[in-house]
């Protein structure tokens, strides 16, 4: 039997009665869009993050795009982020009219190298987007120091970090606004696309709510050009119920990470580096080896799927060639992309399955 890099089916079987009850509740309610479940989930998720306001949207990508629009980003405004991220981080900046500008990453955590931020800020910089990648937070104190000193906004990309903490503060609570994804693979996942904007700023949240419904305030009159990006009632009610179990999901992910650390220490793989001031929630467990491709092929032959997050740095993609970056511009990002791969990581992964993964890895890495 193949062990997938991610699977939802065992979790669904365990939670099936609750999930189907959520579906039945919504279908009997008479309201399928922006109803009681969406409003309740917005409040509950915002409270979980430690902020006042939540705005449910169609996806994590839309959450980033609308958050940038709500911040007032204008065409040509520069937004600093990293190239070692999912494409939506950068595509959202472009969709909102901004110009992405990249800094390199820390070679140990693969997070934004905050030491490069100050030099990256220009008179056109309007926002910094730190990506809390793989399940742990960027050094937000350093980001905040630069942002305050240079007068720019901060938007946290929390797509992979629901429940993560930095110095006791939850991801999403350390900036002007934050964007979350509830794509099925995430720490808190729906059964399709869904996202959320959270903020402590009431005016910013109100504008995001208007932008998600064509720029209207609940009428047929548009105050500004907006979008159709609404979190639906079905996903909201399912996510509400799963939110009650999120600490269980996180505890299991952290236990799986501990077991990987224990079994793979000394194997020749570079294991994830967790910042001491963070609570890492391990959306992904990312290891590194210069013979990555050989190892992946051998694992596939043994029925073990792994992934690469991410194989191509965004600044080297043809779709973003107009930004003017060339190979060598971000040397750490480029080197890491050639070596990293992600091991199976999801709460329903069993100890026995994980043991099989670790045994295979130790043998494959040691092979000539």
Q: What is the pLDDT of residues 182-212, one digit of tens each?
A: 999 999 999 999 999 999 999 999 999 999 9
Count of beta carbons in the 10 Å neighbourhood of residue 149: 10
Select from 186, 210, 243 the last residue of a domain: 243
Tokens 């910042």: give the residue.
Answer: 275
pLDDT in tens, 59-89: 999 999 999 999 999 999 999 999 999 999 9
Rounded average pLDDT over 161-168: 98
Rounded average pLDDT over 87-102: 98
pLDDT in tens, 7-31: 999 999 999 999 999 999 999 999 9
The CATH number of residue 256's host domain is 3.90.1150.10
Rounded average pLDDT over 297-316: 98
Q: Is residue 147 part of a domain?
A: yes
Q: Give the pLDDT confidence score for residue 294 in this predicted structure.
A: 98
Residue 129, pLDDT > 90, answer yes
**What's the chain's average pLDDT?**
98
- Shared-domain flag, residues 256 and 328: yes
Closest C-alpha among 130, 145, 155, 106 to residue 274: 106
Q: What percent of the chain has pLDDT over 90?
A: 99
Rounded average pLDDT over 41-50: 98
- Shared-domain flag, residues 32 and 128: yes
Closest C-alpha among 345, 346, 339 to residue 365: 339
Q: Give the pLDDT confidence score for residue 68 in this predicted structure.
A: 98
Q: Is residue 206 part of a domain?
A: yes
The CATH number of residue 185's host domain is 3.40.640.10
Select from 193, 225, 243 the last residue of a domain: 243
Q: Give the pLDDT confidence score for residue 368 in this predicted structure.
A: 83
Domains held by the chain: number? 2
**Spatial CB neighbours of 195, under 8 Å, sequence gap ≥ 6:** 56, 57, 58, 59, 60, 61, 62, 63, 179, 180, 181, 182, 231
pLDDT in tens, 309-347: 999 999 999 999 999 999 999 999 999 999 999 999 999
Rounded average pLDDT over 236-257: 98
Residue 218, pLDDT > 90, answer no
Strand, helix or coil for residue 113? coil
C-beta separation of 357 from 344 below 8 A: yes
Band the pLDDT of 355: cuts 50, 70, 90.
Answer: very high
Select from 243, 273, 290 the last residue of a domain: 243
d(CA 221, CA 320): 36
- Residue 124 structural domain: 9-103+110-243
């Amino acid at each position: 039997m193949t062990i997938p890099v991610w699977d939802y089916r065992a979790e669904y079987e365990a939670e099936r009665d609750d999930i189907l009850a959520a579906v039945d509740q919504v279908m009997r309610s008479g309201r399928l869009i922006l109803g009681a479940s969406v409003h309740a989930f917005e409040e509950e998720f915002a409270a979980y993050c430690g902020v006042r306001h939540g705005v449910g949207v169609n996806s994590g990508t839309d959450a980033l795009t609308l958050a940038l629009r709500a911040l007032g980003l204008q065409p040509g405004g520069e937004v600093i982020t990293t190239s070692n991220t999912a494409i939506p981080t950068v595509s959202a900046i472009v969709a909102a009219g901004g110009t992405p500008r990249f800094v390199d990453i820390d070679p140990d955590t693969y997070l934004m190298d905050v030491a490069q931020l100050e030099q990256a800020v220009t008179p056109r910089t309007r926002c910094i987007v730190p990506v809390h990648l793989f399940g742990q937070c960027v050094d937000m104190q350093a980001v905040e120091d630069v942002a305050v000193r240079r007068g720019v906004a901060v938007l946290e990309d929390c797509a992979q970090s629901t429940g993560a903490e930095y110095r006791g503060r939850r991801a999403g609570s350390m900036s002007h606004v934050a964007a979350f994804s509830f794509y099925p693979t995430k720490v808190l996942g729906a059964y399709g696309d869904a996202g959320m904007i959270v903020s402590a700023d009431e005016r910013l949240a109100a504008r995001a709510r208007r932008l998600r419904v064509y720029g209207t305030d609940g009428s047929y009159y548009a105050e500004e050009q907006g979008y159709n990006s609404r979190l639906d009632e079905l996903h909201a009610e399912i996510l509400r119920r799963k939110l009650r179990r999120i600490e269980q999901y996180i505890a299991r992910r952290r236990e799986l990470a501990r077991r990987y650390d224990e079994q793979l220490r000394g194997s020749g793989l570079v294991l994830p580096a967790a910042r001491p001031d963070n609570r890492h929630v391990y959306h992904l467990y990312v290891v590194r080896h210069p013979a990555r491709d050989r190892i992946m092929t051998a694992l596939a032959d043994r029925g073990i799927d792994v992934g690469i997050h991410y194989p191509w740095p965004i600044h080297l993609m043809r779709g973003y060639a107009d930004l003017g970056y060339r190979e060598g511009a971000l040397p750490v990002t480029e080197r890491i992309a050639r070596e990293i791969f992600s091991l199976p990581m999801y709460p329903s992964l069993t100890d026995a399955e994980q043991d099989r993964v670790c045994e295979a890895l130790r043998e494959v890495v040691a092979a000539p």
